[in-house]
Protein backbone atom coordinates (compact mmCIF):
# COMPACT_ATOMS: atom_id res chain seq x y z
CA UNK A 1 0.00 0.00 0.00
CA UNK A 2 2.99 2.29 0.46
CA UNK A 3 3.24 2.39 -3.32
CA UNK A 4 0.10 4.53 -3.22
CA UNK A 5 2.25 7.46 -2.16
CA UNK A 6 3.47 7.70 -5.73
CA UNK A 7 0.07 9.03 -6.74
CA UNK A 8 0.51 11.95 -4.37
CA UNK A 9 4.04 12.90 -5.41
CA UNK A 10 4.71 15.94 -7.53
CA UNK A 11 7.88 16.88 -9.31
CA UNK A 12 9.89 19.72 -7.75
CA UNK A 13 9.06 21.78 -10.84
CA UNK A 14 5.40 21.66 -9.83
CA UNK A 15 6.19 23.83 -6.84
CA UNK A 16 5.54 21.52 -3.89
CA UNK A 17 7.46 18.28 -4.05
CA UNK A 18 6.00 15.45 -2.03
CA UNK A 19 9.08 13.36 -1.50
CA UNK A 20 9.64 11.60 1.80
CA UNK A 21 12.65 12.60 3.85
CA UNK A 22 13.20 8.89 4.36
CA UNK A 23 11.61 6.01 2.50
CA UNK A 24 12.87 2.64 3.63
CA UNK A 25 11.08 -0.66 3.25
CA UNK A 26 7.68 -0.30 4.81
CA UNK A 27 8.02 3.32 6.01
CA UNK A 28 7.96 6.80 4.56
CA UNK A 29 8.79 9.85 6.66
CA UNK A 30 7.69 13.40 5.89
CA UNK A 31 8.37 16.67 7.69
CA UNK A 32 6.20 19.74 7.80
CA UNK A 33 6.19 22.54 6.77
CA UNK A 34 8.24 21.21 3.83
CA UNK A 35 5.38 18.82 3.02
CA UNK A 36 1.74 19.75 3.61
CA UNK A 37 0.36 16.74 5.55
CA UNK A 38 -3.00 16.86 3.75
CA UNK A 39 -1.06 16.10 0.53
CA UNK A 40 -0.09 12.81 2.18
CA UNK A 41 -3.41 12.07 3.93
CA UNK A 42 -6.00 12.90 1.28
CA UNK A 43 -4.70 10.71 -1.59
CA UNK A 44 -4.31 7.75 0.76
CA UNK A 45 -7.76 8.17 2.32
CA UNK A 46 -9.21 8.37 -1.19
CA UNK A 47 -8.04 4.79 -1.72
CA UNK A 48 -9.62 3.37 1.47
CA UNK A 49 -12.08 0.58 0.69
CA UNK A 50 -13.09 -1.24 3.88
CA UNK A 51 -12.44 0.88 6.94
CA UNK A 52 -10.67 3.88 8.38
CA UNK A 53 -9.88 3.86 12.10
CA UNK A 54 -8.73 7.23 13.39
CA UNK A 55 -7.63 8.90 16.62
CA UNK A 56 -7.42 12.67 16.23
CA UNK A 57 -6.32 15.14 18.87
CA UNK A 58 -6.94 18.19 16.70
CA UNK A 59 -9.10 17.79 13.61
CA UNK A 60 -9.74 20.97 11.64
CA UNK A 61 -8.32 20.13 8.21
CA UNK A 62 -11.15 20.52 5.70
CA UNK A 63 -9.64 18.49 2.79
CA UNK A 64 -8.99 15.55 5.15
CA UNK A 65 -12.52 15.85 6.54
CA UNK A 66 -13.95 15.81 3.02
CA UNK A 67 -11.81 12.77 2.10
CA UNK A 68 -13.20 10.88 5.10
CA UNK A 69 -16.74 11.90 4.18
CA UNK A 70 -16.20 10.74 0.59
CA UNK A 71 -14.85 7.42 1.89
CA UNK A 72 -17.95 6.96 4.05
CA UNK A 73 -20.16 7.80 1.09
CA UNK A 74 -18.37 4.99 -0.82
CA UNK A 75 -19.36 2.57 1.95
CA UNK A 76 -16.14 2.70 3.98
CA UNK A 77 -16.72 2.27 7.74
CA UNK A 78 -15.08 5.25 9.50
CA UNK A 79 -14.42 5.35 13.25
CA UNK A 80 -13.09 8.61 14.67
CA UNK A 81 -11.95 8.87 18.29
CA UNK A 82 -11.38 12.38 19.66
CA UNK A 83 -9.87 14.17 22.62
CA UNK A 84 -12.67 15.72 24.69
CA UNK A 85 -11.22 19.19 25.28
CA UNK A 86 -10.13 19.63 21.65
CA UNK A 87 -13.48 18.38 20.35
CA UNK A 88 -15.42 20.80 22.56
CA UNK A 89 -13.13 23.70 21.64
CA UNK A 90 -13.44 22.98 17.91
CA UNK A 91 -17.21 22.60 18.22
CA UNK A 92 -17.51 26.05 19.78
CA UNK A 93 -15.13 27.74 17.30
CA UNK A 94 -16.11 26.01 14.04
CA UNK A 95 -19.21 23.80 14.14
CA UNK A 96 -18.64 22.77 10.49
CA UNK A 97 -15.92 20.35 11.49
CA UNK A 98 -18.02 18.68 14.16
CA UNK A 99 -21.31 18.58 12.23
CA UNK A 100 -20.30 17.62 8.67
CA UNK A 101 -20.58 13.91 9.49
CA UNK A 102 -23.98 14.08 11.22
CA UNK A 103 -26.36 11.43 10.00
CA UNK A 104 -23.86 9.53 7.87
CA UNK A 105 -24.45 5.87 8.81
CA UNK A 106 -20.85 4.88 7.98
CA UNK A 107 -19.22 7.42 10.30
CA UNK A 108 -19.00 6.68 14.00
CA UNK A 109 -17.54 9.22 16.42
CA UNK A 110 -16.67 8.84 20.07
CA UNK A 111 -15.04 11.35 22.37
CA UNK A 112 -12.89 10.36 25.31
CA UNK A 113 -15.02 10.62 28.45
CA UNK A 114 -12.32 11.98 30.73
CA UNK A 115 -10.39 15.21 30.44
CA UNK A 116 -7.09 13.27 30.44
CA UNK A 117 -5.33 14.09 27.18
CA UNK A 118 -5.83 11.83 24.14
CA UNK A 119 -2.95 13.08 22.01
CA UNK A 120 -2.78 10.58 19.13
CA UNK A 121 -2.74 11.83 15.55
CA UNK A 122 -3.11 8.63 13.59
CA UNK A 123 -5.34 6.68 11.27
CA UNK A 124 -5.25 3.27 9.62
CA UNK A 125 -6.88 1.59 6.68
CA UNK A 126 -6.23 -1.65 4.83
CA UNK A 127 -2.48 -2.25 4.97
CA UNK A 128 -1.56 1.29 6.00
CA UNK A 129 -0.91 3.34 9.15
CA UNK A 130 -0.47 7.12 9.28
CA UNK A 131 1.13 8.35 12.50
CA UNK A 132 3.43 11.12 13.67
CA UNK A 133 3.34 14.39 15.54
CA UNK A 134 1.37 16.32 12.91
CA UNK A 135 -2.21 17.12 13.82
CA UNK A 136 -4.92 16.88 11.19
CA UNK A 137 -5.43 20.61 11.35
CA UNK A 138 -5.34 23.55 9.01
CA UNK A 139 -2.32 24.92 10.91
CA UNK A 140 -0.26 21.72 10.65
CA UNK A 141 1.16 22.65 7.25
CA UNK A 142 2.88 25.66 8.89
CA UNK A 143 4.37 23.82 11.87
CA UNK A 144 7.43 21.63 12.45
CA UNK A 145 6.02 18.11 12.70
CA UNK A 146 6.37 14.65 11.24
CA UNK A 147 4.12 12.30 9.32
CA UNK A 148 5.08 8.64 9.18
CA UNK A 149 3.39 6.22 6.80
CA UNK A 150 3.85 2.55 7.57
CA UNK A 151 2.76 -0.62 5.82
CA UNK A 152 4.16 -2.80 8.64
CA UNK A 153 1.40 -5.25 9.61
CA UNK A 154 2.48 -5.38 13.27
CA UNK A 155 2.38 -1.59 13.63
CA UNK A 156 -1.04 -1.41 11.97
CA UNK A 157 -2.37 -4.18 14.21
CA UNK A 158 -0.97 -2.48 17.35
CA UNK A 159 -2.65 0.83 16.46
CA UNK A 160 -5.98 -0.81 15.64
CA UNK A 161 -5.85 -2.73 18.94
CA UNK A 162 -5.13 0.50 20.86
CA UNK A 163 -7.92 2.34 19.05
CA UNK A 164 -10.39 -0.45 19.84
CA UNK A 165 -9.39 -0.35 23.51
CA UNK A 166 -9.96 3.41 23.62
CA UNK A 167 -13.17 3.09 21.58
CA UNK A 168 -14.63 0.61 24.09
CA UNK A 169 -14.04 2.71 27.23
CA UNK A 170 -17.18 2.78 29.33
CA UNK A 171 -17.09 6.56 29.87
CA UNK A 172 -16.78 7.61 26.22
CA UNK A 173 -19.23 10.11 24.80
CA UNK A 174 -20.95 8.69 21.73
CA UNK A 175 -21.47 11.45 19.18
CA UNK A 176 -22.87 9.21 16.49
- Lowest-pLDDT choice from 39-43, 46-50, 105-109, 136-140: 136-140
Give CA–CA dist 110/150, Å, rounded.
Answer: 25
φ/ψ of residue 111, rounded to 5: -115, 135
Contacts of 104 (CB under 8 A, 6+ apart): 69, 72, 73, 176
Percent pLDDT > 70 in the chain is 86
Cis peptide before 33 (omega within 30 of 0): yes
- Domains present along the chain, CATH in parentheses: 2-11+18-174 (3.30.870.10)
**pLDDT number for residue 144:** 93
Q: Give the list of residues 6+ apart from residue 1 with CB closer than 8 angstroms, or none.
A: 47, 126, 127, 128, 151
What is the tens place of the pLDDT at every residue in 99-111?
899 999 999 999 9
Q: Structure pTM?
A: 0.86
Q: Read off the pLDDT of residues 64-102 as tens digits, 9 standing for 90 and up.
A: 999 999 999 999 999 999 999 999 999 999 888 778 999
The confidence score (pLDDT) of residue 79 equals: 98
> At a CB cut-off of 8 Å and minimum separation 6, what does 125 contact?
44, 45, 47, 48, 49, 50, 51, 52, 53, 76
In this structure, what DSSP letter does residue 45 have? H
Amino acid sequence: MLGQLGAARQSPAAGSALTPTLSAGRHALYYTPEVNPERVDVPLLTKARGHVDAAFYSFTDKPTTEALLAAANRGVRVRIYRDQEQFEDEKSRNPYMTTIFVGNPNIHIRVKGSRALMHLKAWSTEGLLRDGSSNLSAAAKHQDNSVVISSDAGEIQAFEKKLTEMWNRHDNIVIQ
